[in-house]
Amino acid sequence: MRLLIVEDDSLLGGGLRAALGKAGFEVTWVRDGNAALDLLAAQAFVAMVLDIGLPGMDGLEVLRRLRAGGKMIPVLMLTARDTTRDKVLSLESGADDYLLKTADMEELIARLRALIRRSGRACGALSVGDLTLDIEAHTVTRGGELVSVSKREFDVLRVLMEGAGRVLTRGQLEQSLYGWNRNVDSNAVEVHIHNLRAKLGAGLLKTVRGVGYTISRSQS
């Protein structure tokens, strides 16, 4: 299950990523609101842990923009400020839950899992036409036939299927696969796309010239 953490504190962010990773989540960690909104526009996550006290655009503004754009991802607000006003503002802005940074990690994980269960997002597979990607089993099938793919090819296909119907740029795919601070070969994404087309059929993954790549919501 893919989880987004938005936290500018290096120590806390690193601790959250490690603990939630051990709990079975696939964690992406960013440190500011603009980065979070960019990711959420391109990718799908089961939930988000959002710090209120972010630099520049604070967490409440991130949340307001997210909800104004129709994104209903479950959001757990995380803050150092224990005031009734902060709780009210968080909930009125669209938060699903609110937790202090001093809370036990076990409680945070339990609350996240409860939010995800209530949202119905704990799905273990993605399907587009006769193409199925099983997240838990890490397998890909097309027309009922198992297709062997590498880890990176699986990750590229997953991001495209999660964003089915949208065009994703090479930069967005690189960011999803390699994070923010990794050196990536200039043609890495193109190589993965080429390999996937060879295995799944040339017409499945479309190139939008000068923009990026997409997979249709349905396949004939």
Identical fold between 2-119 and 125-214: no
The strand pairing partners of 67, in sequence order, are none
Class of domain 125-214: mainly alpha
CA dist list (Å): 169 to 61, 66, 163, 182: 26, 21, 12, 17
What's the pLDDT score for residue 122?
A: 56
Q: Which of 23, 24, 1 is nearest to 122 (CA)?
A: 1
The reported pTM is 0.59
Spans of all domains in the chain? 2-119, 125-214
Between residues 170 and 163, which one has the greater pLDDT? 170
Cα separation of the two ends of the chain: 29
Per-residue pLDDT of 69-112, as tens digits, reads: 878 889 999 888 777 888 888 888 889 998 888 888 888 988 88
Class of domain 2-119: alpha beta
Compute the mean pLDDT over every residue in the chain, rounded to the nearest whole number. Answer: 85
